[in-house]
Amino acid sequence: VRIDLNADVGESSGLDEAVMQAITSANVAAGVHAGNASELRRTIRLARDRGVAVGAHPGFADAAGFGRRDVHLAAADLEDLVLYQVAAVAGVAAAEGVRLRHVKPHGAMYNMAAKDAEMAAAIARAIHACDPSLIVYGLPRSELLDAARAMGLRTAAEGFADRGYQRDGTLVPRDREGALVVDARAVAERAVRIVKDHVVAAVDGFDVPLHVDTICIHGDTPGAGQLAVAVRSALEAAGITVAPVL
């Protein structure tokens, strides 16, 4: 039994060093929705020195909205925007002796591409054009993962141990009660159940099936570092191998 732990980094949270102690894959902001050239490079070096796999984390060109606001682009423009960001992160990583391993879209782009097949295909084309060996991260059963597989790209389905789930397997929206699980022990227990039993308890108490290759640790909330360490320790104590996606 094996799982990858990933976190979004390079987003000026001030918590990257702490989070990087526990994760196995780092999604590095490409300097468009967050970060900048120097933070990008520094974060890549940090991941390299910690043995953490490096991925690109492209987002909409809406830094003032932290990439969380829906942006409606023509498919070709979305493709270009993702290609640009993946190319930049891959090139900076190469200058640091690191081969880019994966791509995980950010925020509104991630959510829109989960449901919109045209957007999903545009993103998959961009990633494929950059490097066909890249792994695409996304929600299980999302349009994004379908589009990636259709192009021959490898994929990783992602779950969230610190977010509430609804009975239909979707996340509780951020403005509803139960959106976040804050107790570190509870988060760790959920992570273990997700990996070992392939289920997560929904907000109404029912168990929901969840098959994932990687678990996301939110890196921008205070205490993210301790939370990541607690999750990793609990997983390892349960005999699970914590390592990058194969």
Name residues whose C-beta falls within 8 Å of residue 112's C-beta, 6 or more positions apart in sequence. Answer: 70, 119
Q: Using CB under 8 A, which of the segments 89-97, 114-122, 133-141, 148-156 binds a second copy?
A: 89-97
Asked if 159 contacts 142 with a C-beta cutoff of 8 angstroms, the reply is no
Helix axes 75-95, 37-50, angle to 10 degrees: 60
Does position 14 interact with a second copy (CB under 8 A)? The reply is yes
Q: Cα(114)–Cα(143) distance, rounded to whole angstroms?
A: 5
Q: What is the DSSP letter of 132?
A: T
- Extended strands (E) in 32-184: 53-57, 102-103, 135-138, 154-160
Q: Min. distance of Cβ 143 from a second copy in angstroms? A: 22
Chosen residue from 7, 20, 27, 41 binding a second copy by CB under 8 A: 41
Count of residues that bind a second copy according to CB under 8 A: 54
Asked if 18 contacts 232 with a C-beta cutoff of 8 angstroms, the reply is no
Chosen residue from 149, 167, 174, 211 binding a second copy by CB under 8 A: 174
Tell me, what amino acid is at 28?
A: V
Does position 208 interact with a second copy (CB under 8 A)? The reply is no
Q: Quick one: 177 or 246, whose CB is closer to a second copy? A: 177
Closest CA to 228 of 236, 220, 237, 219: 219
Q: Min. distance of Cβ 191 from a second copy in angstroms? A: 18
In the block, tokens 């379908």 appear at 146
Does position 87 interact with a second copy (CB under 8 A)? The reply is yes
Q: Using CB under 8 A, which of the segments 47-55, 142-150, 177-185, 192-200 binds a second copy?
A: 177-185
Does position 159 interact with a second copy (CB under 8 A)? The reply is no
| Site residues for a second copy per CB under 8 A | 11-15, 17-18, 31-41, 61, 63-66, 68-69, 76-77, 80-81, 83-88, 90-92, 94-95, 129-130, 173-175, 177, 179-180, 182, 221-223, 225-226
